[in-house]
Structures are given as C-alpha cells and as structure tokens.
Amino acid sequence: MAQVVVQFKDDFGCFLDLDQKQNLDRFIEKFKNEIPGLSDIFYKEKNDELAVLQTLEDYYLSTSDRDELSTTLINLLSTISNQSKNNPSFSLGGHNLSKEFFKELFSICCDICFSVTVEVVGQAGYYDVTYEITENGWDILYCDFYEEDDENIW
C-alpha cells in the first residue's frame, strides 16, 4: 500500500455549550481505549464553549507514522459510513472504530465537520476531502482530486 499523507485544515465546525462538558467527559472516559492519544486532546474550552477536535487544526500525519495519536486518527478517518455520498479512491489502511462510538458522539455533537488534504505518495496531485459525522461513521461530503500538470501547477 502506498504511503498516504493527511493534513487537517483549519475549518472545523463543532462547538458545544459548556453544559455538554459532563456528557462529553463521560463519552471520552467510555471510549478512551478506542481513541488513545486523542482522548486527552478531544476538546478544549474556548470562550465559554467546548471546541471539539479543534486541537487537530493543521495537524499533519502519515500512514507510516506509528505513534498513538496518528494511529488513532487513521482509524477515525477510516470509519466511513455505508451511506456515505462519496467513497475516496485512496485507503488509509486503518481499522474502523465501533458503531457505538459514532452513535454516541453523534448524539452529543451532530455537526462535526472538517476538511483534510490527502496526498498519496507517488501520485501527482492531492485530494481535498470533507468529512461529516453520522451515526454510522463519516459521510464524505466531497472528495475532489486535483492533478498537478507538467509545470507543477495545481
């Protein structure tokens, strides 16, 4: 399998009211073994709100990375809903997280949405991908490939 590089963009979209903190903490405690490395940075308090997954803004990882957080994120991104509008033509090689994980997270925060840039090493171009949470995993809202031309212009 080719090495794949992922960079999270800065357009994350899930903020919760502080009154959801206890629900989010219970969720993280319940699933901390499923998301090692991510459970400690899953959210941060920001201006009287909870910024969910905002700590991943501009985060960069590769499928060759073996640290706990990268492995967790690869598994997280690999859990695509069967009802997804699009299926990417690349694979991250991760293992799906449990359906219960997504069902419970969706019940707490049903509007998690973020975009990533994906490069498959050896392929001339990159994918622009947007993920949106569902009860069954991620819905890929779009997965567009931008090919580099002969003059290295996208």
Q: Is 153 helix (H, G, I), strand (E, B) or coil?
A: coil
Q: How many domains does the chain have?
A: 1
**What burial class does residue 86 get, using C-beta atoms within 10 Å of its C-beta: 0-12 exposed, 13-18 middle, 19+ buried?**
middle
Provide the residue range defining the domain that includes 83: 4-147
Q: What is the percentage of the chain residues whose pLDDT exceeds 90?
A: 87
Per-residue model confidence as pLDDT tens digits over 24-65 = 999 999 999 999 999 999 999 988 999 999 889 889 999 999
Confirm whether 105 is domain-assigned.
yes
Q: What pTM did the predictor assign?
A: 0.91
Could you tell me the pLDDT band of residue 148, with boundaries at 50, 70 and 90? confident
- Pick the range with the lowest mean pLDDT from 9-13, 119-123, 150-154: 150-154
User: Would you say residue 14 lies in a domain?
Assistant: yes
User: Does the residue 154 lie in any domain?
Assistant: no
Q: Which amino acid is at 64?
A: S
79 and 137 Cβ atoms separated by less than 8 Å: yes
Residue 153 binned pLDDT confidence (cut-offs 50, 70, 90): low
Give a yes or no: residue 153 inside a domain: no
